[in-house]
Amino acid sequence: MTDARAVAESVFRQQSGRIIATLIRISGSFDLAEEALQEAFTSAIARWPESGVPDNPAAWITTAAHRRLIDALRRDRTRREKEDPLRYETPTSYNPAELDAESAFDASSMNYPDDRLRLIFTCCHPAINTEAQVALTLRTLGGLTTPEIARAFLVPEATLAQRLVRAKSKIAQARIPYEVPPLHTLQERLQPVQAVLYLVFNEGYSATAGDTLIRKELCSEAIRLARLLCTLLPRDAETLGLLALMLLHDSRRNARTDPAGELILLEEQNRSLWDRDEIREGLDLIDTALRLRNVGPYQLQAAIAALHAQADTYERTDWRQINALYVELYSLSHSPVIALNHAVAIAMSEGIEKGLRRVDEIGADGTLDDYHLFHAARADLLRRLGRAPEAIKAYSRALELTRNPIEQNYLRRRLIELTPSAS
């Protein structure tokens, strides 16, 4: 029972974005696709312990979910108002009364090339507000739960749930097409898509919940989709910068945890474990992007990541250049998180005391009170200054706010290290 459940849960984490994109393409309905997928997973958990785990679990679940879509269509075929939301986006004629659940669907169609890219552009239609665009894409494509997304947005779970409902309702009522838009309108839809891809990558790179720090499937999916965007827009500097940023961060993936899965910070990482192929590609991409002379936030972040990637050691990192890049980045995007990262760069380049003062200035208005990395960064600077009691208090607050067990373990280790000297 445990093995079958573990396989089903693994498929859900790794393949739900691919499967749900296929189901939405087939049905045209977010709600029906999600319901069918959930029923298919429930069926898998119930049946696999007795029948055995199939050779291709993802294809089994996709086929089972498709059958449930057919059943739903047949039940509702006499109620036109129920059929229309399903039929208006379907790429071919789709008569539920004539479909055969065993033969009408080939599970290999879950590899339909642009399903997930189509889904992102549907979720990021300008008729939907930005917060809902990101939340809906993370919920469907990223397979994140509503509580996980709410934590990522620092909003109440009920608020996030309402955004999801309104977004799906808007897509159905406005009959937003399930498609990648034509090239002449692509640019106006690009910014929210880029934001969504970066958030999907970030959730994979530092998971808000779960038993691991890194969700590799989300990082890989975000990179794959960013490559598709670059193919569509090969001279869009920010799209190139976004892909470069992802690759440069992802290059450090294998060095971020030890064999036991515990967190290793950048300062202590074994740089020989960094993926040099990803670094080379990322450096080439950011060089190409910057030569286009249309600098944006993703390019600047990628340039910062490039300086880390090029440093032989943490001590030889060009922190002054990183500091200067953060000044430019903050001028384009007045984000408190960017300001916090800039403060750390100030600490490394101009002195810990000065950096800490800047951190405290950023935190004065309370915007980052519930952001665990704010307290963790502040705690680290206090630790470096030998102010153990204050560092313990800050680490403790970060621990209260952190949901990922790997990050929790790291913070506990820091607290243990500091406790003897706190007295």
Q: What is the pLDDT of residues 240-265, one digit of tens each?
A: 999 999 999 999 999 998 888 888 99
C-beta separation of 385 from 352 below 8 A = yes
**What local confidence, expressed as pLDDT, does residue 383 receive?**
96
Q: 193 and 119: one domain?
A: yes
Residue 140 lies in a domain: yes
CATH of the domain at 44: 1.10.1740
**What local confidence, expressed as pLDDT, does residue 214 receive?**
64
Q: 76 and 119: one domain?
A: no
Better-predicted residue by pLDDT, 211 or 368? 368
Better-predicted residue by pLDDT, 44 or 73? 44
Taking the whole predicted model, whether its pTM rises above 0.75 is answered as: no
State pLDDT tens for residues 168-179: 888 888 888 877
Residue 212 lies in a domain: no
Q: What is the mean pLDDT of residues 178-192?
A: 78
Distant-in-sequence, close-in-space partners of 311: CB < 8 Å, separation ≥ 6: 317, 318
* pLDDT level of residue 221 (50, 70, 90 thresholds): confident
Report the chain's mean pLDDT, rounded to a whole number: 83
State pLDDT tens for residues 37-66: 889 888 888 888 888 888 888 888 888 888
Q: 128 and 86: one domain?
A: no
Q: 167 and 120: one domain?
A: yes
Residue 391 lies in a domain: no
Residue 242 CB: number of other CB atoms within 10 A?
31
Q: Which of 253, 257, 271, 284 is nearest to 311 (CA)?
A: 271
pLDDT at 110 over 70: no
pLDDT at 395 over 80: yes
State pLDDT tens for residues 76-109: 665 555 445 544 443 333 333 333 433 344 444 4
Which of 86-100, 121-135, 403-417 has the highest mean predicted lDDT (pLDDT)? 403-417
Percent of the chain with pLDDT over 70: 86
Q: What is the mean pLDDT of residues 336-341?
A: 94
**What local confidence, expressed as pLDDT, does residue 69 receive?**
81
Domain count, the chain: 2
Angle between helices 2-27 and 30-51 (to 10 degrees): 150
C-beta separation of 245 from 281 below 8 A = no
Which residues span the domain enclosing 162? 114-179+187-204
